[in-house]
Amino acid sequence: MGLTGEEAARIRRLLGREPNETEWAIFDAEWSEHSSYKSSKGLLRRFPTKGKRVLLGPGYDAGVVDVGGGYAVTLHIESHNHPSAVDPYGGASTGIGGVLRDIISVGSRPIALVDVLRFGDPERSGHSKWLFRNVVRGIADYGNCVGVPTIAGDIEFDESFERNCLVDVACVGLARKGSVILGEARHPGDLLVLVGGSTGRDGVGGAAFASKSLAKGPESERKSVQVPDPFMKKLLIDAILEVAEAGLIRGMKDLGGGGLSTALSEVASKGGCGVDVELGRVQVREPGMGPTEVMTSESQERMLLLLDPKKAERVARTLDKYEVPHQVIGRVTGGNSMKLRWNGKVVVDLPAKAVAEAPLIPRKRGPAPRQARSPAMPKTPPLGESLLSLLSSPNISSRRWVYEQYDHEVGLRTVAKPGEADASVLRLPNGAGLAVKADGNSRHSSLDPRKGGAGCVAEACRNVAAVGGEPIAMVDHLQFGDPSDPEVYRQFVETVEGMAGYCEGVGLPVVGGKVSFYNEDVGSGRAIKPSPIAMVVGLIPALKKRASSSFSDGESVIAVGETRPELGGSEYFERVLGVVGGTVPAADPRADSRAYKAVAKLVRTGVAASAHDCSKGGFGVAVAEMCTRNSIGATIDLGLLPGGALSDPEALFSESHGRFLLSTRNPVRAKSALRRAGVPSAVVGKVGGSHLSFERGRKRVARVSVDSVTGSWEEPLGRLMG
Amino acid sequence: MAARVAVIRFPGSNCDMDAVQAIRTLKGARADLVWHEDKAVSDYDAVVVPGGFSFGDYLRAGAIAAKSPAMERIRKAADQGLPVLGICNGFQILIEAGLLPGALLRNSTLRFVCRWTALRVDSDSTSFTRRMRKGQVLHIPIAHNEGRYYAPKGDLARLSREGLVVLRYCDEDGVPSASANPTGTSDNIAAICNRAGNVMGLMPHPERGTEPLLSPSGSDDGALIFRSMLEAA
């Protein structure tokens, strides 16, 4: 059991008696960190959550955002880290299953999946390769089968994830604005109907499992991993959306972490009602299961529906057509008690509010470490060589090996596809486009959590702007080690402050999120690098053209935003020079906002033929990436880059935020638009030829052939994964 | 009168809505989603068996759907000369049902692959290619795990000879090269038809290639397949 002595005492006080075994198990699941956010809730209030487009903010199964024309987009993000470390295929699959349920449970149709993956170094670790390969296959098999395209993501490899990989999955849904369904029991007499797969012993105690470190070695935790069934999920999606769209559902809640315990206590406490449930009616998969296991099982592909009894018959008919099992397990009652029976006998009688509202845990925050001195700069290898080494880094090279395994086309909505532009773009039924991207940078976050937190939001916003989108909403996922460690808690606090401050500054509401603690290496007890993830969606008012991030012959190249000497945590420092430390890039929300608006407009109007943000690997890598698709070179003068005086490595590889590269046939018009918007920019070169050359005036800084650029960047991941 | 197309929906089909949407945007077409247990197939002028994972692809891709009662009605429609188009999982189903020869094996990479491909038209006399010319190159995406067409050597030669190979993966110049073969499929085969030319199965997804906005090459080549089908219906 994961409850502390203090929590157990509090429960006894609340009830005025000793709880029985089933009741303890319910509290254990619902008061776990995973379900209750007891270490983080207070701090998460810092995020701005309101905005003119926000219809439903944090605290529900999914955030809901108005995208105009009577439509709304729903967003949710989750992780399945511990299950994926134990069983990469099953863990990743059920992660997808879980996030899909959240999107369905607000009555919206899932239209896109996004995944963010963090693994150990595949160049050194066979174990990480094995995990990665099977996680990708798990996501692919599940997403492809349910018919929801996987359209975007972000991948980072770092040794801190060797024993604790991160598998984050996010989902975007689409609904009519007025038809959002909530998981609240508001009408006494409503039927509680359990829909979908049967309840087995898989995933028993999964929420508690997620709320501690992977202790005894992964094998002992296999039973805590759920079993995926994408076919059942597909039927569940089709059946539930059919009844939801017909207006037959009064409330809905997915069964995820904590299983029935969480679902029942939350619908009751949120709706201000009680529930009376006969657990003997739950269809079980294995003989001999008792009430405790039934309440805490996390078997997949299950939903709880709240139905007006008058409409129950019509719902049952539709579910039967899809051969989706369903059982009435109880009723909503007045009052606030969660009464559970086992073959008629009351086995649990708890106040729902008490179960759903775990007490917060005050955590200690460690002192900020002393400012580390700037690391000494070792002798630098030739810059052309460094550029090619960066392009072949698993953190930078082409992601084709991954995204080609995902069906990213199903649904006829994917306009900008993975690999074509900085963010993927979905076509919406109102004629608008939705740009989608998730980002994070654990190296920046590890050196400076505050800047890293702001930076991941900035990077996602840039990617969205580079395809013409105006950022409208964000969901976040915050992943850290054990929060009782004051240093981990300090990282967490500073990350949230950094992210929240940036969101505030650019006017970006946060509509949902997740926190995952206890991500650490079992052997050494060392926590992962702090890993905040931001998924940002942006709106393209009228979608008419396809975004591109590739050069074409004869175009001029414009650098947007200032490059600063910020090599701390850069791929150049860590991969090429082996240096850890230095100044981490700082994001300036006010300057960035102006750049987002101006760049997005240039992209939408076609003045910019292509656009790409500068992030990992810096300006040099960004230019090289734009050369690959059309196999065309460019000549760039580094002396013209906006910003102060920079060394050549800084100019090429600094990872300063707020920067874009544009290619255009109309540099005068693009420049003047940027100037009017108050955004620093300069024409720095021209596209053409078979080489990529960086110069300073007449002096050559680096020169590589386009073939070597493409060769370095295109293949490494596929070769590594085989 | 508009031609009426039935798009059959099995449990687990997931490209059914896409096919309906793509066909409905064409002039002179009506498309309905027809649940596999509904008996209405005979009211239609053409039948599309869409992609997805019918019955979860349990047992073997397409194997369970091929034994469903809907298949008997589709077989009858094919015998009467109605155009019957199987896309991706639909192709697998038509093969499992014996309406088309050969077999579809796992891709040689053993991985799912989603990618835009170039396809050469090798037969322009079928119900699905009559608006094309031989040698024309189409751009249409694939997305599958089990699309490596296989038939014994002698049968492959016969299929070619009799003009039953309809589409082959090719490079931009129309050459069916090894590097243009995404799955290790025999002779770069992407689509085959029956002798009468009214039943075709293909691994690429024409419904995903009917609008320039969705196509990296800005083409609407997928629509040619549906337009040909409507004309033949």
Return the half-sphere exposure (C-beta side, CA atoms, 13 A cut-off) of residue B5: 31
The reported pLDDT for the residue numbered A206 is 60
Catalytic residue, candidates A80, A82, A444, A477? A80
CATH domain A548-722 topology: Phosphoribosyl-aminoimidazole Synthetase; Chain A, domain 2 (3.90.650)
Beta strands, E only, A292-344: 302-307, 326-333, 337-342
Cα torsion through A150, A154, A158, A162, rounded to 10: -20
Task: Give pLDDT tens digits for A45-92.
Answer: 999 999 999 999 998 889 999 999 999 999 999 998 888 888 899 889
Nearest residue of B to residue A718 by CA position? B109
Task: Give pLDDT tens digits for A639-649.
Answer: 999 998 999 99
What are the residues of chain A with a beta carbon less than 8 Å away from any beta carbon of chain B? 137, 140-141, 144-147, 229-232, 234-235, 321-323, 403-412, 414-415, 417, 420, 427, 543-544, 546
- Is residue A374 pLDDT above 80, yes or no? no
Q: Which residues pair with A682 in a beta bridge?
A: A559
Cα torsion through A418, A420, A422, A425, rounded to 10: -70
Q: What angle do CA A34, A115, B140 make, to 5 degrees?
A: 150
Cβ–Cβ gap A409/B112 under 8 Å: no
Q: What angle do CA A154, A144, B208 make, to 5 degrees?
A: 95
d(CA A174, CA A214) in angstroms, rounded, equals 36
Query: Distance, in angstroms, between A680 CA and closest chain B CA?
Result: 32
Nearest residue of B to residue A421 by CA position? B216
Q: B87, B50 in Cβ contact below 8 A?
A: yes
Task: Give pLDDT tens digits for A535-583.
Answer: 999 999 999 988 899 999 999 999 999 999 999 999 999 999 999 999 9
pLDDT, one tens digit for every residue, chain B (233 residues): 689 999 999 999 999 999 999 999 998 899 999 998 887 767 899 999 999 999 888 888 888 999 888 899 999 999 999 999 999 999 999 999 999 999 999 999 999 999 999 999 999 999 999 999 999 999 999 999 999 999 999 999 999 999 999 999 999 999 999 999 999 999 999 999 999 999 999 999 999 999 999 999 999 999 999 999 999 98
* CB < 8 Å to B14, chain A: 145-147, 234, 410
Write down all domains in chain B, each with its CATH number in brackets.
Answer: 3-232 (3.40.50.880)
d(CA A564, CA A586) in angstroms, rounded, equals 9
d(CA B149, CA B166) in angstroms, rounded, equals 13
Query: Distance, in angstroms, between B139 CA and closest chain A CA?
Result: 14
Q: In angstroms, what is the C-alpha Rg of chain A?
A: 26
Nearest residue of B to residue A411 by CA position? B18
* CB < 8 Å to A414, chain B: 214
- Sequence-distant (≥ 6) Cβ neighbours of residue A345 within 8 angstroms: none
pLDDT confidence band for A226 (50 / 70 / 90): low
d(CA A215, CA A173) in angstroms, rounded, equals 36
The reported pLDDT for the residue numbered A298 is 86
For an interface test with A, the pick among B15, B36, B112, B210 (most A C-beta atoms closer than 10 Å) comes out as B112
The reported pLDDT for the residue numbered A372 is 66
- Is residue A220 pLDDT above 60, yes or no? no
The reported pLDDT for the residue numbered A356 is 85
Q: What angle do CA A345, A349, A353 make, to 5 degrees?
A: 155
- If you count them, how many residues does chain A have? 722
* Edge-to-edge order in the sheet of strand A345-351: A251-254, A302-307, A191-196, A326-333, A274-278, A337-342, A345-351
Task: Give pLDDT tens digits for A115-129.
Answer: 999 999 999 989 999
For an interface test with A, the pick among B9, B10, B13, B14 (most A C-beta atoms closer than 10 Å) comes out as B14
Q: A76, A150 in Cβ contact below 8 A?
A: no
